[in-house]
Structure formats: C-alpha cells, structure tokens
Structure 1
Amino acid sequence: MENGKKKGMTRREFLGFSALGLAGLTILPSWSMNGIRIAPSDRVVLGFIGLGQQGLSDFGGFAQCPGVQVAAGCDVDSMKRERFVRRITKWQAENGMPQRCDQYEFYEEILERKDIDAIEVATPDHWHALCTIHSCQSGKDVYCQKPLAYTITEGLAMVKAVRENKRVLQVGSQQRSDKEFQQAIALVQQGAIGHIEKIYARVGEPPKPFDLPEQPVPNNLNFNQWMGPLNDPKIHYHPDLCPPISLDPEKNEQLWGAWRWYRETGNGYTSDWGAHMFDIAQAAIGMDGSGPVEYIPKGYNGTKYATMKYANGIVMTEQPYREDNPNAQGIQFIGDKGWIKVARGYIECSDPSLLEKKETKIAKGQYETSAPHMQNFIDCVRSRENPIAPVEVGCSTNTLCCLTNIALELGRPVKWNPATLSFVNDKEAAAHRLYWYQYRNPYSLPDWY
C-alpha cells in the first residue's frame, strides 16, 4: 500500500485540486432560525459530498439543528447537484439566511473551502475512506454515513486520519441516538436480564455477484468519477447503481442505489443493516472498539445461521429476533434472567415490570431525517468532544460486517484477533478484497498502521 501523501507535496497537489480554483471565501452575517439568533461564532457551516437520497435525508436532519448553514454540495451527477442547490436555497430563504449554495463535481474542490467547518459524506461506501481521510487532512470534521467503509483496512486508515488530525467524526448510525435502542442498551448493561448468553440480530442477506447488464452512461453522470478507486473490470454502468432523477417536474429516485447489494460494489444487508443492528449489539455488551473472535458462515457443517463468537462466551447469530415478524430487522438480547427485543419504533421485555411494550410504525424516510444524531455531531464540532458514534465504533462494527462476509465467501470459519487487528494464521483471509484491495490508479489508500 502506498501512502497518499508524499514528502514535499503541497496540500493542493495531494488533494488533486482542479484548475478551476475558488473566487474567495463566503462571508455570511448572523441570522436567526426558529426565532433563535445565531452568531457567526456559533455557526457550523457544512459541505455535502454525495447528494442522492441519503444526502438529502441527512440534510433534513441537519436542517433542524440551530446554527447550521450549508455552503456547498458535491456529486458526480449534475442533475442531483442542481436539485440540491434548489432545496438548500429554498430552505435558506424560508429561514432568513443568505441564499447561496455552490455546487461541485469533484470533492477536492469543497475541501479547499476555508469557510466550511464540516463535511457530510453520503457517497457509496467505496468512496467513504478517501473522502473522509482527505476531509480530515483538510481540517474538516466529518459526518460519515454507515457503514464506515467498504473494507477493513479502509476503516483502520480512517481512524488514523481522524486521530492524527484531531478531528471529530460521527458515524451515521442514528440508532445510537434513538431512545428505544438507548433504553435497551442501558437495561442490558445494568444486568436487568442477567448475564447475556445469546444475541439474535436480524439484518438480511449478504451481497451477490454483480449481474446488472451494461447500459449507456447518461450525459449528466460522470461514471468514471463514481467508480473512483474500484478496479474490478466486471463493473459497468446500470441505472440501478446511480438511480436517475428529473428536475422539471421534479421526480426523485425510485430506489436506493443497488451498489449495496453486489460484492463488487458493496456488502449487502450484512453491512447495510448490520452497521445498525450489529452496532447496537456491540454497544450493549461493551464491545465497542473490539468484536467477535470467530466467524462461522451459514451452511458450514450444518450451521443454520451466520454465527459470531466473542471471547467472553457470548454468541451472536444473524437470525430472526421475533417469531411473528421473521424478516424484520431488529435485535433480541437473551440473558439468563430474561430477554429484551428492540427495533426501530419497537421495544419489549420478558419482564413487563422493566418496561412497557412499545410498537410504533415508522413512516418511510422518517428515521433518516430525525435530528438528535445530527445535533450530537454539531454539539461535538463545537465542544471538540467525541460524539456518540465516534470513528472507532464505526470501524469495529464495519470490521465485524466485513469479516462475516469474508467467512461466507471463503465457506469456512475465520478467526480474528481484535487486539492486534489481524487474522489468526490465515493468509487466505488476509488476501481477501474485503480486507484490502489494490485501488485503481491514480488512487491510493494511506497506511493505517
């Protein structure tokens, strides 16, 4: 692995800054939001990288946080850039803010902006590492969507970049800030259901081989830039990877980017929902920053469910957490004195005296635009404290998800040492693409060690 920053290289050269340049800084006066006057010193100015459904949903959360301004957005699709600018300037006008939002095709240009404090990264997973690392090196704090990265070493390199550059990073694992999940974590840690023996975490199916037929790339999309560091020759353009939109009249994406569901471009439900449910399981049993020591794939010697074993004896399986809704994503903690089940809008305990059962239907898009997780990040940008889902948490959860898929693709158990961040006598697993892969030129991942 080559280090992306060479001795003697300027920051502009390192970031690959384009020849377009910047006219100067945007000077914004104080303004009020919801009747609260925001002084310039209290304002947090955001730039967004990735302007699809997830980026827009996250903006809906940030828009509820007093003191937040949005100065720019970046995407490889020119139509999504224009949609973003329209929405931001409309929001600015409604809240009495100066109406300006610049748009960029290449994220390096946003990172040269001196007036931007923090970056939202809502790109496909294979771009998370480089966008985050370069943001940190440019002095920006980062709100990075989950899962933290596409591979294990990318996550480790992101941890190094955050800490070496003294930045704040919040992983977009909103469940960490959700009251039902917070309540479940607290009860488990208080010993309310005794010693935890098993965890059922339903997340969904692993990724499948890329099988989308090739189609012509539309003029509004820079698909080469979308590919970025990915170097698999089997990958080509299909609209499911980059769901199209229209502007006049506005018609938004009809599906989430399907890159999630293919091995060559994502990690399936294992990471998409595992970054939520496995993440909560790790938090509850005190394994943030650590993880299981053995991963046994579904189907190995009759194993019914993907199984993860911790050094303390706890066993977590990817299986239904409630019998009446087997396909729903959620978690069941099973202790020697009872159980707790929790999901979005749902919590239940074997002992009703500990809590009342609650089940509320979550409307489509409602969860993504909830503000507490974003507000926690903004608060920490100001205080310089660690947020509720710091980079180490995202890294350990991402490692767990990647290892689950590695074991499945190898068709056998894989042993991992969370202390040394290495496989146990397993060169084949260490050569797997989800541990590390050679980036396409001219991209390179900085060393993590």
Structure 2
Amino acid sequence: MENKSKKVTRREFLGVSALGLAGLTILPSWKVNGVRIAPSDRITLGFIGLGRQGISDFHAFSQCPGVQVLAGSDVDSIKCDRFKKVVTEWQEKNKLPIKCDTYEFYEDLLERKDIDAISIATPDHWHALTAIHACQSGKDVYCQKPLSYTISESLSIVKAAEKHKRVFQVGSQQRSSPEFQKAVSLVRDGKIGHIEKVYVRIGEPPKPFDLPEMPVPSNLNFRLWLGPLNDPNVHYHPNICPPIAPPDYQEKGDWAAWRYYRETGNGFTGDWGAHHFDIAQWALGLDGTGPIEYIPAGYNGTKYTTLNYANGIVMTEQPFREDRPDDKGIQFIGTNGWIKVARGYIECSDPSLLKKSEKEIEAGAFEISAPHMQDFLNCVRSRQNPIAPVEAGCSTNILCCLINIATELNRPVKWDPVTHSFGDDKEAQSHRLYWYDYRNPYKLPYWDK
C-alpha cells in the first residue's frame, strides 16, 4: 500500500524548494566503451520508469561516452530488479566503480545531489509531476514523448523548465534521424515550393477503458502507478502494466496498453502524433504554435481529421502513401512537388533532391548510435537548447490533445495558440484533456485554472 504520509511530505517539500543547480559530479577518470572520460565531462543519470521504454532508453544512453547511471525508480519491484541487473552488468563490463540504486518512490531518487540529469519513461499521466519535480530539484530532463497527458500539464512543464533554467529534451527522436532531417531541410529551403497541404498518418484515437478488473500482483504498487489519475473506472489489468519475471525479465507481446484508452492515454493520436506532427510542425517552422481550428473526421461529411493553420496551410490525418495506406508517416505537398517521409524511408517527386551533399556524406562518417541522447548530453554540458526542446514538445502535445478533444466532442474546436485558450467554448475548456482534478494528495505545480 502507498505510504501516504511520506508522499505528501516529500511532495510538499519539492513544491516549495528548489535544491539548486546540480553541478557535474567530480569523480575519478575512467573509460566508457573504450573512450576515456575526463571528470569534468561526466554526467550522472537517474531513470524514472523502468519498463520496456525505460530499459530501451538506458541502452541508448549507455552508448554515449561520459555517462554514469546511479539510480532508477519504478512502482514495480521486479522492474527495479531487472534495471539494477542490466545496469550492473554494463558497469562491470566497463569497470565503472559506482553501484546502481533503485527506489519505489521517485522523490527519493530526486533528493540525491550526485545526480545531474533524469530520464523519464513513465506512463504519460506521470510525466508532468516527475518532470516538474526533477526541474525543481535542479536536474536536467530527458522525457519521453508525448510530453504529457493533458494540455495544462504540458504548459506547466514548460513553466518549470524555464523557471529553473533546465535543459529539457523531449524523446521525439525522429528529429535526430537523417531521413527526417533531410525532409525538413528540403521543405525549409523551399525545394518543393510553398507548402499548401500536409498529410500525416498516425492511427486511431483512444477508446473508452473496457478491460476487466484483475488481482494486483504483489510486486506492483498499483495505487502509486495510478498516481494523480482521478478516474474510478480505471483498475488493474495486466495489459496496462505488462508483467515481467525472472530470470529472463522479458516483456513479451505488445506495448503497455494504457496508451490506447481515453482514461489513461491519448491513443495513436498521442503516441505516433507526438512523432509525425512534431516533424511536420518543425519543417513548417511552427514550433511553439499550432493550428487554429480542428475538424474531426466524420463531421458534416469531413473524410479526414483536418487541421487549419492561420497561414492557410491545411494538415490532414490520412494515408501518405497510396500503396501502403496504413503506414505511419508524412507527405508535404508544395506548389513545385512533394516529399514523403517515414522511418527509414524518404521519397521525393524530384529524386535529384535526395542526393546527399558533401556535408551530409562527411557527417555520415561520424554517425553515433544514439544521436538524440547524445544531443541531450551535449546540451547538458553546453547549456544550449536541444534539438527537441520542451516548448516544441508542448506545442505538439497540445495539437494531439486538441484532435482528441474535437473527436470526442464530434465537432470543430477553435484554439488560440498564442493565449492557449478556446475563447468562449466552455465545453472544450472543461474537457479532461485540457485540465482535470488530480487525485488527492497530488497537485499540479505552476497551474492556475
């Protein structure tokens, strides 16, 4: 059972006190992956959320020189055990002298002054509190996409990162992939003319929670997994918290299904939309803003969900490849041609535009295995903005939330991306994806509805 008194005390502390800027920890020099790391270049990491994505993120960070992992936190004790085993094996291989600790309560991890940065891979409804509290405790943050479950949470995270001057990278790793960077550069350079339409294929919105209730396993603190969620209809089912077991600790089957239900996630709209809408807005130079009108599919004969921008660009959620209509990706349509891009795939109406420049060929000789994580670590050292800054993650997540709001209301929704408001649309303003009451004792910092 959740230790309520402990949670309230630590949360109250984090809500009123910033622990100060965490300097890079000074430790003896050692080698990681064959590269000798100077003490001043080393970055110490803690991980919050140790499931399938958390382990994947650890493996990516472990390929980056200058990283030491000190701790992890999860509400599932078996996932904590797996994380410690995996990290310890990596540390022993690289002869790293510092042990890895694990915690049930992430606040215990954040209290450690020897940790420089936090990697967050919890379910989306926990992103806001863990990210904000990490910022308050002086940690830089790498947070998986989508940035949060609701609009208010994303806006609050931005305030926290700005207030505490944190480097904040969103896990929209497609920004660090060459095919997407090539597409973005071609669009921005006007190689296909003025952009008029954009097709983005992401998949279906979330559905109502309909899983039967099942007994909670002893290794899982499900009340703590729920955290701020305040919906009595949400109960335990292994699909939303996939079990793992020793000795192989493998998560088998699909990804955790919490993302596919309205009460716990934003469906493919939030899951893949956080990737492809992010790239689309980045290419259009619209980071930090977004569409002003959202029209759901099916409304008055509208075939595809349609997003209208103030500058006249129209973006629709529809197939971007006729030959493979279910593939997720993007098509930019300009006055002089088109570009189609997806993971590992790029095609252009003018194939000559895809010929690599000398600069791109030279850059390819220095490819690294985890460029998105490496970009974050570089920015932790330089204090510059990363390639996927928190403001971009916020605007992309707002876009995805607004699609789902319009879909659930079954009518168009208008939005002011400057004031972050619905005008006089009180029904949209009261939607749970804009803001909802957290379950006691949880509170959302930096938010005043």
Instruction: Give yes or no for TM over 0.5.
Output: yes
The equivalent residue for 1:5 is none
Change (3 A) 1:178 1:157: same
Question: In angstroms, what is the RMSD of aligned CA positions?
Answer: 1.8
Partner Cα separation in structure 2 for residue 417 and residue 286 of structure 1: 17
Match of residue 288 from structure 2: 289
In structure 2, the partner of 1:317 is 316
Q: Distance in 2 between matches of 1:204 and 1:238?
A: 24
Aligned to 2:234: 235
Residue 155 of structure 1 contacts residue 398 of structure 1 at CA under 8 Å; is this kept in 2?
A: yes
- SS of residue matched to 1:210: coil
* Contact 1:159/1:395 (<8 A) preserved: yes
Residues 320-349 of structure 1, C-alpha deviation per residue, up to 9 Å, x if partnerless?
Answer: 100111111100000011000000000000
Q: Distance in 1 between matches of 2:348 and 2:327?
A: 17
What are the residue-to-residue correspondences of 1:163-242 with 2, within 5 Å? 163-242=162-241
Structure 2 unaligned spans of 5+: 1-7, 17-24, 357-367
Where 1:332 maps in the other structure, the secondary structure is strand
Query: Secondary structure of 1:417's partner?
Result: coil
Give the match for residue 63 of structure 2: 64
One-letter amino acid of the counterpart of residue 445, structure 2? P
CA contact (8 A) 1:298 1:304 kept: yes
Higher helix share: 2
| AA aligned opposite 1:176 | R
- 1:113 is matched with 112
Measured in 2, the distance between the counterparts of 1:173 and 1:129 equals 16
Q: What amino acid maps onto 1:58 in structure 2?
A: D
Change over 3 Å in CA distance of 1:52–1:370 after alignment to 2: farther
Q: Are the structure 2 counterparts of residues 16 and 281 from structure 1 closer, same or farther at C-alpha, using a change threshold of 3 Å?
A: closer
Match of 2:144 in 1: 145
CA distance in 2, matches of 1:345, 1:370: 15
Percent of aligned positions with the same letter in both sequences?
Answer: 72
- Specify the alignment match of 1:267 in structure 2: 266
Give the match for residue 244 of structure 1. Answer: 243
TM-superposed CA distance for 1:35, in Å, is 2.6
Whole-Å Cα distance in 1 between the matches of residues 412 and 12 of structure 2?
44
Contact kept, 8 Å, 2:415 with 2:423, in 1: the verdict is yes
Query: Which one-letter code corresponds to 1:387 in the other structure?
Result: P
Offset of residue 448 of structure 1 = 3.8
AA matched with 1:110: L
TM-superposed deviation, 1:42: 1.1
Instruction: Indicate the residue corresponding to 2:399 in structure 1.
Output: 400
Q: Deviations over 1:64-121 (max 9, x none)?
A: 1100010000000000000000000100111121151000000000000010000001
1:101 equivalent in structure 2: 100
1:377-388 equivalences under 5 Å are 377-388=376-387
Distance 1:43 1:27 in 2: 8
Q: Which runs of 4+ in 1 moved over 4 A?
A: 9-13
Describe the SS at the equivalent of 1:308: strand
SS in 2 for 1:198: strand
Is the 1:278–1:397 contact (alpha carbons within 8 Å) kept by the matching residues of 2? yes
Separation (CA, whole Å) in 2 of partners of 1:170 and 1:151: 18
1:362 is matched with which residue?
none
CA distance in 1, matches of 2:322, 2:192: 20
- Normalised TM-score (structure 1): 0.91
What does residue 36 of structure 1 align with? 35
Deviations 1:34-72 (A, max 9, x none): 332112221100000000010011111101110001000
Q: What amino acid sits opposite 1:169 in the alignment?
A: F
Going from structure 1 to structure 2, the CA distance change for 1:115 and 1:253 (only over 3 Å counts) comes to: farther
Distance across 2 between alignment mates of 1:11 and 1:304? 50
Q: CA deviation at 1:370?
A: 4.8
Letter in 2 for 1:112: E
Deviations along 1:7-42, one digit per CA (max 9) or x if unpaired, are xx997742399xxxxxxxx98422112332112221
Contact 2:26–2:39 (CA under 8 A) maintained in structure 1: no
Letter in 2 for 1:389: A
Match of 1:76 in 2: 75
2:404 partner amino acid: N
* Equivalent pair of 1:72/1:102 in contact (CA under 8 Å): yes
Aligned residue for 2:445? Answer: 446
What amino acid sits opposite 1:244 in the alignment? P
> How many residues matched?
422
Give the Cα–Cα distance (whole angstroms) in 1 for the partners of residues 29 and 10 of structure 2. Answer: 31
**Distance in structure 2 (CA, Å) of the matches to 1:399 and 1:381:** 26
Q: Which one-letter code corresponds to 1:104 in the other structure?
A: Y
Cα offset, 1:140, TM superposition: 0.3
1:201 and 1:316 in contact (8 A); partners too: yes
Contact 1:194/1:338 (<8 A) preserved? yes
Partner residue of 1:424?
A: 423
> Match of 1:353, SS?
helix
Is the 8 Å Cα contact of residues 199 and 330 (structure 2) preserved in structure 1?
Answer: yes
8 Å CA contact 1:135–1:142 kept in 2: the answer is yes
| Counterpart for residue 90 of structure 1 | 89
Residue 314 of structure 1 and its aligned partner are, at CA, apart by 0.4
Q: Secondary structure at the match of 1:250?
A: coil
